[in-house]
Amino acid sequence: MRHAPDELSRLSDEKLMRLVADLDAGAFEILYDRHAAAVYGLCRRMVRSTAQADDICQEAFLSVWRSGGRYDPKLGNVRSWMLSITHNRAIDQIRRSRRHDDRQIHDDALAERMPSGDSTDGEALGRIESDATGRALRGLPDSQRAVIELSFYSGYSHAEIADRLEVPLGTVKGRMRLGLEKLQGQLSKAA
């Protein structure tokens, strides 16, 4: 059944995900429009490279399209689910980059002669986003901020964070969920 775009735009994310599970491209387009900025912003903060962020964002949305039927609203809202997929894709990219970098011959003189990968405008936008995120992070309790920073900025998995902080895995997941909910609320107000 084909839905009109204005009809789709009035549906909740959860209802749109049901349509995406049935391969409704219009529903997917609405979800993309609603969440692309958040997904891309997360990518940029994690990898700091426009090209890599573009690739990760594309991979994340392709994964959402392919696995839309696996979304379970009991486990969280659609945005959180999408950001989780994005986070996992970015972590994979960071790990691939680290392995690649480890194989490269490091020559400081050569690195200085390489052109910068980001434009000045892109760096300025990244700094603005980073400042807003930094302010929101500083407003979180230390325990929630620590797990978010270790996950999103250092690339640690939940299990690695639990080992590093010497707390149970469930505690890490709970702190992460609460912290991300608070961050989302603060960043939504700021936007």
Query: 154 φ, ψ to 5°?
Result: -105, -10
pLDDT tens digits for 24-45? 999 999 999 999 988 898 888 8
Residue with tokens 């690339």: 155
Q: What is the pTM of this model?
A: 0.53
We find that the CATH architecture of domain 116-191 is Orthogonal Bundle (1.10)
Q: Label residue 125 by pLDDT band (50, 70, 90).
A: very low
Give residue 30's identity as a one-letter amino acid code: I
Instruction: Please give the full DSSP string across 49-103, using - where no structure is assigned.
Output: -HHHHHHHHHHHHHHHHHTGGG--GGG--HHHHHHHHHHHHHHHHHHHHHHHHHH
Report how far residue 28's alpha carbon sits from residue 101's, in angstroms, rounded to the nearest whole number. Answer: 36
What residue segments make up the domains of the chain, in order of their start?
Answer: 1-101, 116-191
Judge: domain 1-101, CATH 1.10.3720.10: no
